[in-house]
Amino acid sequence: MASNNIGAGQTYTTVQGWEDAANVSSSTWEGVIVDASEFNENVTISGPTGTPDATNYIKLSADSDSRHDGTYNTSKARIRGNSSGTHVITISEDYTYLNYLAIAQQTAGDSDECVRITSGTTDVLVEKCVFALLAEISNQDCIYAGDWGMSASVFDCAFYVGPNARAGIHAQNYQGSGSQTWHIEHCTIDASGAAGGIHGRDDSSGSTTMNVDNCAVFDAGTADYQTTGGTTWSGQGNIGSDTSCTARLGTTNNTNSVSLVSSDQAGNIHLVTDLTVNSEDYQLVAASTGTNSAVDNAVSGATQDARIDTTVDIAGNARPGTYTNRDSGAFEIAASESAAITGTAEPSATESEIVTGGETTIITLTNDTWVAAGAGAIGSEADTQAIIDGVSAATTPANGWNNEVRDKEVIGSVARTSSTVATITWTAAAAYSVTADETITVTVPAAVLVTSGVPLTATPTFTATNETSFVPYPLGRYSTAGGMQPMGGGLH
């Protein structure tokens, strides 16, 4: 599919402008927001030229520079409704795909959803999106389908629903003969007092089927997993803060009474980074005194849309290859990044070895990778130099490590051995001379790391070992009359 940029100074300055073009030509079916700002508009996706299918479809996404970071981040691209009585995005076309969007509804109208999927629309995919109901008005939902047949998959999405609203995801099939089928996986829903987190309703002569796996739903006023009528539920790996999780989905790999908290505490908790209202960060963090066991049981029981990227979570953290090791919810616990030191200079290098040169310091990353080579072996020349600058002694004698080795080393000494290994081969340092051992610590700058946003202090340190020179007495003989005398000098 051809990509068409959306944003200030781009081919299309509004999202609706792009969609209108998609109604004219299939070459514009993929729209990409490349502007990290707010699009204050209401968008309807319907009536494109041609017939979408599983391989050719309408897709709206944000590029890697503009997309959200897993929160409703006001410094990133986002779409916010601006007209009461309408929905932020109305989907009336099969196979529509929303990806990496931040969508908020702030109008005060009844049934003003973030996303409404209309009658007869099938195979909709909403992936890695963030939703927020900012007005906190009754009868609003983040994603909604009413009294009609449809089908949709919702994967890796985070929802802030808010007090007074109805639900994060609401299948309201309350009459008629339409059948609804939902596949909902790896979603985190903070209902925050709304009636329901996920609400399946079936009072129709049709059917409503809710396939829910690996989701984390919290703090609904009525029920986290709310049901009305004859809705069919299935799924595993889910957690909730009340007892509705197992009531709807059974006791196999589903867990009740899990708390959503942002500070470490004992108990059955779902520990997250931050819960600032309307900008929640549901990134999971490892608990030290609490337990994360309840979020470590995710399994897949749903039929997945082939377009879904299952390898990363909503924030780009890698997911394990098997579902049984994944965390429930939109976020994976991000493993800590670290750096380890090996090489011939570890655990120590003598003074004479440093003078001669050729010693190596090997830095191996875990849960992170080096940035690609640029003008330097790792990133730019300045980035590569920063790696050398990060290898520092605790003290700075005049002819010590910092002055004679670190500050005089050339960037050509650094090699990007692999995506996780860098090797520094130290060149000769003829003027290096110390009177005591030096302890050397390697600090890897954040700029050369793909994942970590902070510098990594590598372990262990290594030692530059002082070699005290032995100065013997002059060769001679001792006389009681004249002290030490040179050999052959005789007595005087």
* Nearest Cα to Cα of residue 254 among 234, 270, 272, 269: 234
* Domain locations in the chain as residue ranges: 3-325, 338-465
Whole-angstrom CA distances from 315 to 116, 157, 158, 176, 423 are: 25, 10, 10, 39, 30
Query: Would you say 340 and 363 are in contact if contact means Cβ atoms under 8 Å apart?
Result: yes
Task: Calculate mean pLDDT across residues 43-50.
Answer: 90
Task: Calculate mean pLDDT across residues 332-360.
Answer: 93
Phi/psi of residue 17, nearest 5 degrees: -60, -40
User: To the nearest whole number, what is the mean pLDDT of the chain?
Assistant: 90
86 pLDDT more than 50: yes
282-299 confidence digits (pLDDT tens): 988 876 666 666 677 788
Q: Which helix (H) or strand (E) holds 249?
A: helix 244-249
pLDDT above 70 coverage of the chain, percent: 92
96 pLDDT more than 60: yes
107 pLDDT more than 60: yes
Amino acid, res. 392? S
β-bridge mates for residue 421, sequence order: 364
454 pLDDT more than 90: no
- Report the length, in residues, of the chain: 492
Instruction: Assign domain 3-325 to a CATH class.
Output: mainly beta
401 pLDDT more than 70: yes
The model carries a pTM of 0.73
- Specify the pLDDT at position 288: 62
pLDDT band at 483, cuts 50/70/90? Answer: very low
- Specify the pLDDT at position 359: 98
480 pLDDT more than 80: no
- Specify the pLDDT at position 478: 43
Whole-number Å distance between alpha carbons of 387 and 446 = 10
* Nearest Cα to Cα of residue 237 among 255, 257, 210: 255
217-244 confidence digits (pLDDT tens): 999 999 999 999 999 999 999 999 999 9
Q: Which of 98-112, 311-325, 335-349 has the lowest mean pLDDT?
A: 311-325
- Specify the pLDDT at position 287: 65
